Amino acid sequence: MEEKELNYEEGFQLIRSMISRARVSYHSTGIGAMMWGIVIAVCSLVSFLEMQFNFKLPFDIFLLALVAIIPQILISRKVNSEKKIKAHEDRFIDYLWLAFGICIFLLIHSINLVFYNWEPVAKSYTVLAGHKPAFRFGEFTSSFFLILYGLPTFVTGAACRFKPMLWGGVVCWVCAIITAYTPVKIDLLLTAFSAIVAWFIPGLIMEKVYRLAKKEAALNV
């Protein structure tokens, strides 16, 4: 059977049928997408402001990504416990985004360790050579993150046949390429842009469709 992208009306009908079968998932409500979009966009913009106005928070702002994992787990478990039927694809997407959150935390931890050990070496090199090292690890961290951001986004969009999120994953990968050649400040702005386009906006669309479908399902009871 030939597959096709779901348009707005088809998406409405699909979610409505899911609600009627009590198979509403954490992701179909748009909560997860909006949460990650807000967290990553805020972290990126705060980091940009730190560089722009030359101040430093006492902690890595991107550690807030760890905080985002906790409500994701709690809300996902709550929604799943209310299901009468648990679909295999729901479980797959749940684990996909949980793995994504864990990978984000581990990547942040690893990058902080690299910076901690690299900074003294870079300073020593600058003193001995009279100039800064040509390679600066920090200029490529945004690319690493954006590559990772694109993976669960693209897979979720493809699995759910939800075009805004699928293209959001592509946007993350395109920005990952661009950030390899742009200054760190621009990288942070592109990261915030990617988070909004890939997660927050699709999340808003999903939440709107979900509310309309739930209202329609309630009227038909």
- For the stretch 149-199, pLDDT in tens is 999 999 988 888 888 999 999 999 999 999 999 999 999 999 999 999 999
Residue 1 counted as domain residue: no
The answer to whether residue 133 is domain-embedded is: yes
Output the pLDDT for position 100.
Answer: 83
- Identify whether 3 is part of a domain: no
Q: Is residue 187 part of a domain?
A: yes
Instruction: Tell me, yes or no, whether 205 lies in a domain.
Output: yes
User: What is the predicted pLDDT for the residue at 173?
Assistant: 97
Position 191 in a domain: yes
Query: Whole-angstrom Cα distance, residue 190 to residue 150?
Result: 13
Q: Is residue 2 in some structural domain?
A: no
Alpha-carbon Rg for the chain, nearest whole angstrom, is 20
Exposed, middle or buried by CB within 10 Å (0-12, 13-18, 19+), for 165?
buried
Number of domains in the chain: 1
Domain carrying residue 71: 8-219
pLDDT in tens, the chain (221 residues): 444 455 556 555 555 554 444 344 444 677 778 888 998 999 999 999 999 999 888 887 877 777 777 776 776 676 666 555 555 666 787 788 878 878 887 887 888 787 767 667 667 767 677 767 666 666 788 899 999 999 999 998 888 888 899 999 999 999 999 999 999 999 999 999 999 999 999 989 888 887 777 777 667 65
